[in-house]
Structure 1
Amino acid sequence: MTDTSFVAQPAADVVMFPAYAKAVGTAAYIWGWPMVNMINRRAAITKAPQPGLLNGVLPCAPRGRIGMLHDYIAPDQTFIACPNQDVVYGLGFFDLDKEPAVVQVPDFGDRFWVYALYDARTDQYADIGKPYGSKPGFYLMAGPNWKGEVPQGITEVVRSPTELANIIPRCFMDDTDEDRAAIQTIINQIVAYPLSEFDGMMKTTEWSKAPTIPGPQSTDGAETKWVVPETFFDELDQVLEGVPPLPGEESLYAQFRQILVAAKRDPSIKQALLEAAQDAEASIIKTFHQWEHNGRPAGNGWNRSTNNARWGIDYYDRTGTSKSNMFDNKPEETQYFYTDFDADGVSLDGQFAYEVTFPAGEEPPVNGFWSLTLYNEHHFFHPNGLNRYSLGTKNKSLQRGADGSLTLHIGAQSPGADKESNWLPAPDGAFSLYIRAYWGKESILDGSWQPPKILKST
């Protein structure tokens, strides 16, 4: 009988050869990519001296606070890929073991809203929003090791499994001037601050006057580079120390720590890890940008999200989403459908015109809202004269057919004045399409609803 009373650990003083270190390093790079992404985003965002707008386009704030937009996200931001122009966003990062934070929830009335709270793994760890019947009030975000007292007046305590956490409030807004005005008093109460400042009174910030704060930004049109292969293994130790292993991950942690120790004393091992990072970035991470490698088939040439924001040990989908469209909502909050191809399997290209038709009664079945967004090759908005980047529930001027069907027109050229209300302008080259279904009904959740075919116009 085998003696299982002990578990051998990797030897700290083993003489390791580079090829082995490179193999383990490749696994470490894929596994740790989302979390290094998170720590570097937090480092950049929290340099802000006060809540404001990073480069004038994206919410930012010091640790323990959040920044909010007052309108849709700016079309030229490159901080986060696959943004949407259906909601007003907020963003904040926290170090919850040092001090918890209070997050205010105003009365949203009948408006759709959700607060996505993420841990260092990019998993969501709380249920706060309209789908959950959450009440207005004060929500205390605490870390796994915080042992302080909860003051009176706190509505609910939510604990992150990691000290690093962030929050992205989302609040639906119609694409009308009337709703832009109506939403301001609500979003001005979406505020977060350290527990030491809590006094039981609802605080307000006039987000339309948020200051511009300089910060990092992309220079090539792609997403800001948050994971750099050349520095990854210098940063991985922060992840191993700050993110407790999930059950069964202890052996992974031990292996990764062993190669980091070996790299500190052996330049050939350090070089092997550098090569592992560079090779994995080029051959694996880059490929995750393609929608066919994200999630699972959803019918008619589309893919759909899998395990979004509930990754667990699904490292493939976690890393794939971190690369292509980070900060998904949980499945019951949002389902995502995306494609780079038309119904014939040919890459979408703005030199052609396309039609996407939802038959009567077959628009995405949701309790919240839905939208179809067009992205360029980098998963960002395509600048156009209409300043239009998506169509869906928010749009009040969509024209439906006599039979109740809805046809959306896609392409670089206008389909004509009579159809222009239903037109999504495309670049001259490659682009992708992306459907969001917020608070989906059962047929969204169980996969029985399928996105429509994308057909070239005749």
Structure 2
Amino acid sequence: MKKELLIGPIASALIAYAASFAPSAQAADIPAAVPAAAGGESGAFAPGTRITEAYARMVARNAYFWAWPMVNTWNRRLAFERVPEPGLAGGAMPVAPLNRLAMLTDYVDPAERLVACPNQDVVYGAGIAALDKSPVVIQVPDFGKRFWVYQVVDLRTDSVANLGAMYGTKPGFYLLAGPDWHGEVPKGIAGVFRSTTQTAFVIPRVFQDDTPADHAAIQASLGSIDMYPLAMYDGTMKTHDWRQLRAFPLPAHAGGGHGESRLVYPERFFDELPAVLKDAPPRAGEAARYAEVLSVIAAARNNPALKEALIDEAKRTEEEMIDPLLQFRNYGIALAGNWSTQTNGAQFGDDYFTRTAVAKSNIFVNKPVETRYFYLDLDAAGARLDGAKRYTVTFAKGALPPVRGFWSLTLYDQYHFFAPNPIGRYSVGTRNLELKPNPDGSLTVYIQADEPTDPQQRANWLPAPRSGAFSLMLRAYWPDEAVASGAWTPPPAIALQ
């Protein structure tokens, strides 16, 4: 039971921390007592049990790490709860009241800072289902042969529904219910999915070519994407003109500087955690983990010194363990050419390390069958990618990413957002119909700050910032078996002299 509290991927960090920690004399001499209200659960302390500050810090450090993705998603729910109607947060990102949805009608605004690692391959939508209030109906229009997928994840960021081209999903109405719902499914519902938590995030993604013609062609299907409470279901497809959405200003505190808007605050993390854990019932094997941290939180309620220790530990964990995970090179499976990947996106299970790493660096990834992600911070020689240099990435003839959907290579700045550039190009791939192959049939992408003078190179130019670190991400949507098996991996980034 105790061993499961030190999960493998972060055990060494916790052990090193425990070895270096010296509790104060006051904490050692006057342990905090756990109130009776905290006892009675499997794994919780008996009422009146005294605990030391050192122990509380250890529990806090562990809990802050594994619960970070849930608190992040929970605070997105609280933000959506305040939205008066479907609209655009900061004029850029779709937001809606709980159990409703909003859609963009074009690629995401490059200035958005609400979700790290956006892409300009798809048209996004977003909605948060509060399943403790009501099940929701999700509308799927007829997308024809166009690539599409609705990502539906629980509070943990694990997928709870299969809706997309790769699943052969038919147009129609689909019901999403919470873990405790036992109501009647009405006629006309094509399928039922059940979330493991009361909160779920629904993110439609619909592919769009980078042409005015395709932008016009996609609008009809976008207008029939929707989500609403079960009581609103009447068997008819509701439509919207999403181009009429209002823009809502972001609150002053929402800005994260150059990085993602802050959603996890160490100062209030342990005040928020009980509600988060109530929303997300423990998975198999997690009951003791839940009970332990709730007992420590209960002990801190009437002990200001212990409460301050939890806050201090949260701040330290954020800085020492969470912040480094923004860098792709600090997690994942190492591949040739200094690329890396993860193979359990949106189905993390007990892999708390990768779940939190992905939540920090590029939250809300799709399942591998929907999209495989490849990450690159370093060039072929192992040096950090830097805007002061020039690079090439060359796909051999016949070795473009093998996909049934589409692929893209996106450049992000050091904060994992788009780097401004004079031609407004942030990725290259399937949507760029103007890409030009080399005479031998290979395809070279030119990554540099200065515009190439050669017309062929310019057609394949992925602009980089003039200085500073940057990263690359290759997305393979609806990947073929060669991607899934690892037989295909991306080519390296070669620094030019």
TM-score by length of 1: 0.97
CA contact (8 A) 2:113 2:256 kept: no
Matched, 1:249 2:286: yes
Per-residue Cα deviation, 1:390-416 (whole angstroms, up to 9, x for no partner): 000000000101111000000111122
Matched, 1:432 2:483: no
CA distance in 2, matches of 1:70, 1:37: 26
**Count of residue pairs the alignment pairs up:** 453
CA contact (8 A) 2:89 2:95 kept: yes
CA distance in 2, matches of 1:52, 1:199: 24
Matched, 1:452 2:487: no
RMSD: 1.2
Matched, 1:122 2:135: no
Per-residue Cα deviation, 1:171-219 (whole angstroms, up to 9, x for no partner): 0000111000000001010011111111111111111111112234425
**2:29 aligns to what?**
none
Matching residue's letter, 1:24:
V
Other structure's SS at 1:300 match: helix
CA distance in 1, matches of 2:256, 2:96: 23
CA distance in 2, matches of 1:166, 1:219: 22
CA contact (8 A) 1:298 1:447 kept: no
Per-residue Cα deviation, 1:379-398 (whole angstroms, up to 9, x for no partner): 00011111100000000000
**1:3 aligns to what?**
none
CA contact (8 A) 2:403 2:478 kept: yes
CA distance in 1, matches of 2:486, 2:60: 37
CA distance in 2, matches of 1:206, 1:352: 44
CA distance in 1, matches of 2:305, 2:46: 18
How does 1:56-455 map onto structure 2 within 5 Å? Answer: 56-216=91-251, 217-418=254-455, 419-427=457-465, 428-455=467-494
Other structure's SS at 2:97 match: coil
- What's the CA shift for 1:13? 1.8
CA distance in 1, matches of 2:70, 2:340: 24
CA distance in 2, matches of 1:457, 1:415: 13
**2:5 aligns to what?**
none
**Aligned pair partner of 1:26 in 43, 46, 61:** 61
CA distance in 2, matches of 1:401, 1:306: 32
- What's the CA shift for 1:417? 4.1
Give 5+ residue unaligned stretches, structure 2.
1-40
CA distance in 2, matches of 1:9, 1:381: 46
CA contact (8 A) 2:43 2:288 kept: no
1:277–1:219 Cα change, 3 Å:
closer
1:218–1:7 Cα change, 3 Å:
closer
- What's the CA shift for 1:8? 6.0
- What's the CA shift for 1:11? 2.1
Other structure's SS at 1:93 match: strand
CA distance in 2, matches of 1:97, 1:281: 30
CA contact (8 A) 1:306 1:317 kept: no
Other structure's SS at 2:123 match: strand
Per-residue Cα deviation, 1:357-379 (whole angstroms, up to 9, x for no partner): 00011111111000000000100
CA distance in 1, matches of 2:43, 2:324: 36
Q: Percent identity over the alignment?
A: 49
- What's the CA shift for 1:7? 6.4
Give 5+ residue unaligned stretches, structure 1.
1-5
Other structure's SS at 1:368 match: strand
CA contact (8 A) 2:391 2:448 kept: yes
Other structure's SS at 2:403 match: coil
1:336–1:270 Cα change, 3 Å:
same
CA distance in 2, matches of 1:13, 1:165: 37
Per-residue Cα deviation, 1:88-127 (whole angstroms, up to 9, x for no partner): 0000001113211111100000000000100011000111
Matching residue's letter, 1:260:
I
1:31–1:12 Cα change, 3 Å:
farther
CA contact (8 A) 1:68 1:207 kept: yes
CA contact (8 A) 2:43 2:291 kept: no
Other structure's SS at 1:138 match: strand
Per-residue Cα deviation, 1:206-242 (whole angstroms, up to 9, x for no partner): 1111111223442511100000111101111112211
Moved more, 118-127 or 147-156: 147-156
CA contact (8 A) 1:12 1:261 kept: no
Other structure's SS at 2:348 match: coil
Matching residue's letter, 1:423:
W
Matching residue's letter, 2:495:
K
Other structure's SS at 1:80 match: coil
1:7–1:319 Cα change, 3 Å:
closer
Matching residue's letter, 1:60:
V
- What's the CA shift for 1:421? 1.2
